Structure 1
Amino acid sequence: MFHLLSWSVVLLLLALWSLAIWLAYVAADWAVVGAGALAGSVDGEGLLQLPEAVEAWLWPELVAAANAWLTSVGPVVEGLLQAAPALAGALTVLAWSVWGAGGVLLLLLGLGLHLLISHGRRSAPGVRPLAAG
């Protein structure tokens, strides 16, 4: 009974792990594809700047300095956005690797629980398995 319960918990954790990795992969893939589309649609001019609502609350000197810094960082961000679609293949390998490593750890947890339950049943005084007949 305890073996069935422990393996059921391990399989439930494996299903939750698989769901979490799948959701993380979908979100990361969406971000990579979106970054590639953004890189294709933006000419780099005015890519990054402070929103007007934020500018209203800051000193003009600070707004000018922040916008100048963001403008200088713009080409670097644009280069990263253009390289983002190339990362999609590596993202798949990374997701499978992380899922596999976590899955192996969960199966090792199940094996450890199985051995612990078996050892506990053997060493417990007064507990004997049911005899047939």
Structure 2
Amino acid sequence: MTIVNSEQLIHYIDLAHLSVTLLVLVFLLISVRLIQPRYARHPVIYSYFPLIIIPFYAYFIDSEILEFITNLSIQATALIIFTGLVVMYSRAVKKGYLLYLAILFYIVAFTLYWYPEFDSIIIQPMVHLFIAAGMIITSFKFPSILIEHKR
């Protein structure tokens, strides 16, 4: 007995991946807001604007090119914001160079995932391994940036 057909399941998995990426982007935007001085902060609602993409995603989920462009641009935006935060504030963190290693892991995973020439069966586990290593380093070192620079 099949609960859902495979095409519907793929759409749900794509929506879950997009939701997780958007939540990471919202977290990074809230981090940027917390680091800024009070007089320069944007309203908190602006940090949640990326979540507006979720209801509209259903309209172009059937178009493969729009889905590709949306996912690529959201992931690249999150990577750019994270890189900017690390470059600006890693000096104040003890062993902040580890955050640069996390950036390297994220960039390698991003490149392996989106570059079409690297399409083989071993690539997906390698992408997961690089993302996991970056997440472990980030989970130990990134909160130090928020604690040291929260205003």
Which has the larger Rg? 1
Q: Same fold (TM over 0.5)?
A: no
- Normalising by the smaller structure, the TM-score range is 0.3 to 0.5
* TM-score, normalised with respect to structure 2: 0.30
Structure with the bigger RCO (C-alpha within 8 Å, sep 6+) is: 1
